[in-house]
Structure 1
Amino acid sequence: MVQSANKGIDANVALGSADLRKRLKLDGKEFDAELKRVGNLIEEAGIEIVRVSFLDAHGILRTRPIEARHFRQVASNGMPTTSAILSMDTANNIAVPIFSADGGLGREDMGGGGDMYILPDLKTFKSLPWEPKSAMVLGDIYLRSGLRCPFDPRFQMQEACARLNAMGLKFMGGVEVECTILNVTNGRLTMEDSGMPATPPAVAPLQHGYQYFSSDVVDGAGDLIADLREALIGLDLPLRMIEPEWGPGQIEITFDPLLDVDAADAVVYLKTAVKQVARRRGMIASFMATPGLPNAFSTGWHLHQSLVDCKSGVNAFLSQDEVISDLGRNFVGGLIEHFAAGAAFSNPTINGYKRLNASPLSPKFATWSHHNKGAMVRLIGGPGDQTTHLENRVGEPAANPYLYMASQIFAGLDGIERKIDPGDPVSDPVLLSDKPIMPVDLIHAIEALEQSSMYSQSLGEEFVNYYLMIQKYAINRFLSTVTDWEHREYFERF
């Protein structure tokens, strides 16, 4: 199917930017082998539609579905899509003048809301178990000039991993992410409810009551978990566990650790699978940190991470005598040094700070501890333990996986390069008065990022300015909205 798709195609109707991959010197034997593998998969699985996808800076998956017979062209030429997508906030409001000569983003090759190109990474091509005859592939964004788009979050993760690789190291990331899955009782399918953003649906719990690790609750969610498990394993993801968590409809999913960009790609597929499988069951899956629902519990994303020596495969955080190696200790130092600015990526939504401030189970201070879960960074393992690694416990599930992980890598690298000492791990990370507190809201995190020379240098000043711009747009929109609290507090009284 794929091999024959290009025969007799008129250049005037060809997709994408002609021979983009060849012009960028990204073709060759490895690409040919991958294209042949994907072509065989399309034939054998009877794939008819391929969803060519990328993640925007908000962590929202953007997709253009293409008929499978055209996929070979897309693999070589890229899938064209408007650059305006990168100019939107989380509700699809346009934040910049997209039709200006520079697209409102300071780049002539993004002017006028014109095309950019999603060049598929064929190694991420997967059949979708829940959607017959469909597949999905993640791609990298290229501009009309042929340059990588600096606003592409996957590019930032690739750059972070490249810096590590140049030092003979690889990033190992383990996923432990929570979400809330509820039955939809009223989808609010009216024009009045279909704004930007739309009115959320009315929901009900999957079962009556809840209790942490209750066998009855686990059994009651069995059918849903079976469907999620089938989808995740069908995507060839390294599933370790799916289980009900603390609150009504709260689910936690854990993966085995993966290396470099694969760790972040896996989270993209995880969220996609969970949301779309739930939708097909008449449910809604939300990765919002603190849903505004009675009795709903806050959800988090604990990021497990370590570094691996490229040649030996040995854990670079391992020490035979100390709880962690000197390199690992300095990595912790970088995480703590840049905790406030890093929160702009680990907790990128206004809502995420409702969890940090209100939940008694979320860390409140920039500390590290050995095994104690009350710290921002928990060290797991110890002398001689091959599994020694760090767990960042502040992240929210809505975080963009590429930016969350890249920001951790860059902060850790700064700690390594400057040999930052985080001090001794604390034994009681809760009752502290001399340690810096986590940002109280997104505004403070964005202010810290704006002042961070390290992130401007590592992520690039162009990207940081772009990220600040879209986040400030969201913050200003939030601050200009009259809340229910304000109306109740002031309307009658004043």
Structure 2
Amino acid sequence: MERHHDAVLRTVAEKDVRFIRLWFCDVVGTLKSIAISPEDLETAFDEGIGIDGSTIEGFTRAYESDMLLRPDPATFQTLPWRGEVEGTGRMMCDVLTPDGEPAASDPRRVLRSVSERAADKGLDLFAHPEIEFYLFKEGYEPGRTLTPVDTAGYFDHVHKGQGQDFRRTVIQYLEQMNIQVEFSHHENGPGQNEIDLRYADALTTADNILSFRTVVKEVALGMDQVATFMPKPMIEHPGSGMHTHLSMFQGGRNAFHEPGAEFGLSRTGRQFIAGLLRHAAEYCAVTNQFVNSYKRLWGAQEAPSFITWGHNNRSALVRVPFHKPTKGTSSRVEFRGTDSACNPYLAFAVLFAAGLKGVEEEYELPEGAEDTVWELTDRERRTMGIEPLPTDLYRALEVFESSELMAETLGEQVFEFFLRNKHDEWRRYREQVTSREFETSFFAG
């Protein structure tokens, strides 16, 4: 750790970095930031920087508001869009109590705890996200129709397209921040794009997603566009998901791989999927945390609405992708339920906790579904034992609230705040009177 401290101090001096931004996020996943000068770096590393935690969603109560930010020196990078002269650096932070203990309310702490519990069993957790988002010509305003930056579709090559220029700039910035990109392309919806980050350990990947969303928004603003990770911004077009490939390694060996097994999937891998399925309704409120999230899940267009798994089934909640028989590291599990607006620390924490529960308790994996689940009748789904995901945020919160696994994984403070925050969102949503209600009932009676 000391070497990382010294490396940051040297880099700040050599690159003429004048401002250092300390990044962290609240329980909902909103990025927070404060700036310090290079002269305060050593204090930040040794003692932490004090903040008022009572002003941050879910962090603490007013009478115990003092908290500390301690930057993680291994995450230091300069921000490319801020320029090279008198530049700006950033570090991800852990949130601590005044006595230096990890804050129970810190989402990064939640994921670190799950990773450490896995490490105690000799397991390393990895994730590889495919992040979708929309680009619009302007931001949202009441009464304004959103205008996408193009009318292209899936994998379309848009000549002189703004989306291509946009993706190139985003990828350049990400790689300058040591965030590696695997693929990028235009998605199904007009103005919709996808950029896939290369796999890394779960905590690093969650850090990278926060940085990714910031880069995307900054580049969009620089091109007079607006980027959104809203799960379903246009009801007639596909939503934005964050399909995530999950894997576990033990002693350098892929714990999900077994040569000669069906799909190359080991018993551990099958138990992990069984855990994801059995607890899916419980963690759905975390992986899909907004009222709008359920308009994506229940909007068809390949979004998963039912708790199923399959090999080549893109309507399933969990998919086992094609693996290369000669390459054991390629065996993995693709979770297709998460949307791009989740808090990545909490989402990864609950997904890995559910999968690990399946391994620990040796859950049996049910039969896979290779049919398009949307095309089955309700009776056929019932016969096959296929259960639906919650159909709205309220139903998701009902299951979440009764889940011992969620309370244990998130910790009491995050669990209780998340529940209160989301019930409040649902209440405010129900208080709205929509144009559809006027259309259907204004002249009734």
Shorter-chain TM-score above 0.5: yes
Report how many aligned residue pairs link the two structures: 430
Return 5+ residue gaps in structure 2 as ranges. none
**Candidates 315, 328, 338, aligned match of 2:269:** 328
Give CA-to-partner distance per residue, 1:87-115, whole Å, 9 cap, x none: 36xxxxxxxxxxxxxx9x6xxxx443632
- Tell me which residue corresponds to 1:446: 397
Using the TM superposition, give the Cα deviation of residue 137 of structure 1 relative to its aligned residue in structure 2, in angstroms: 0.9
Query: Quick one: distance in 1 between partners of 2:16 and 2:204?
Result: 26
- Tell me which residue corresponds to 2:188: 246
**Candidates 222, 242, 256, aligned match of 1:317:** 256
TM-score between both structures, scaled by the size of structure 2: 0.91
**Candidates 245, 259, 262, aligned match of 2:204:** 262
In structure 2, the CA distance between the partners of 1:165 and 1:153, relative to structure 1 (3 Å rule), is: same
**Candidates 365, 373, 379, aligned match of 2:320:** 379
Give CA-to-partner distance per residue, 1:173-229, whole Å, 9 cap, x none: 001010011222x787xxxxxxxxxx698753323x223222236855332122112
Q: Which amino acid in the other structure matches residue 235 of structure 1?
A: M
Using the TM superposition, give the Cα deviation of residue 424 of structure 1 relative to its aligned residue in structure 2, in angstroms: 2.6
- Tell me which residue corresponds to 1:191: none
In structure 2, the CA distance between the partners of 1:334 and 1:489, relative to structure 1 (3 Å rule), is: same
SS in 2 for 1:57: coil
Q: Is the 8 A contact 1:82 1:113 kept in 2?
A: no
Query: Quick one: distance in 2 between partners of 1:437 and 1:384?
Result: 36
Give CA-to-partner distance per residue, 1:39-90, whole Å, 9 cap, x none: 11111221111111101111100111122322222222222222123336xx
- Tell me which residue corresponds to 1:287: 229
Identity %: 27
**Candidates 70, 75, 79, aligned match of 2:40:** 70
TM-score between both structures, scaled by the size of structure 1: 0.82
Q: Which amino acid in the other structure matches residue 314 of structure 1?
A: R
Using the TM superposition, give the Cα deviation of residue 413 of structure 1 relative to its aligned residue in structure 2, in angstroms: 1.0
The list of structure 1 runs, each at least 4 consecutive aligned residues, that deviate by more than 6 angstroms after superposition, is none
Q: Is the 8 A contact 2:110 2:411 kept in 1?
A: no
Query: Quick one: distance in 2 between partners of 1:153 and 1:38?
Result: 24
1:419 aligns with 2:362: yes
Q: Is the 8 A contact 1:248 1:297 kept in 2?
A: no
Query: Quick one: distance in 1 between partners of 2:213 and 2:143?
Result: 18
Query: Quick one: distance in 1 between partners of 2:409 and 2:211?
Result: 27
After TM superposition, list the pairs within 5 Å mapping 1:122-141 onto structure 2.
122-132=73-83, 133-141=87-95
1:42 aligns with 2:12: yes
Query: Quick one: distance in 2 between partners of 1:317 and 1:255?
Result: 21
Using the TM superposition, give the Cα deviation of residue 362 of structure 1 relative to its aligned residue in structure 2, in angstroms: 0.8
Which region of structure 1 is more displaced relative to structure 2, 424-433 or 127-136? 424-433
1:353 aligns with 2:294: yes
Q: Which amino acid in the other structure matches residue 469 of structure 1?
A: R
In structure 2, the CA distance between the partners of 1:397 and 1:217, relative to structure 1 (3 Å rule), is: farther
SS in 1 for 2:9: helix
Query: Quick one: distance in 2 between partners of 1:319 and 1:259?
Result: 21
Q: CA RMSD in A?
A: 2.1
Using the TM superposition, give the Cα deviation of residue 145 of structure 1 relative to its aligned residue in structure 2, in angstroms: 4.0
Using the TM superposition, give the Cα deviation of residue 460 of structure 1 relative to its aligned residue in structure 2, in angstroms: 2.4
SS in 1 for 2:56: helix
Return 5+ residue gaps in structure 1 as ranges. 1-29, 89-102, 189-198
- Tell me which residue corresponds to 2:420: 469
Q: Which amino acid in the other structure matches residue 269 of structure 1?
A: S
Query: Quick one: distance in 2 between partners of 1:137 and 1:422?
Result: 41
1:148 aligns with 2:118: no
In structure 2, the CA distance between the partners of 1:427 and 1:296, relative to structure 1 (3 Å rule), is: closer
Q: Is the 8 A contact 2:134 2:229 kept in 1?
A: yes
Give CA-to-partner distance per residue, 1:208-252, whole Å, 9 cap, x none: x22322223685533212211211111111111222111111110
SS in 2 for 1:303: strand
- Tell me which residue corresponds to 2:21: 51
Give CA-to-partner distance per residue, 1:390-419, whole Å, 9 cap, x none: 001111100111111111110011101110
Q: Which amino acid in the other structure matches residue 271 of structure 2?
A: N
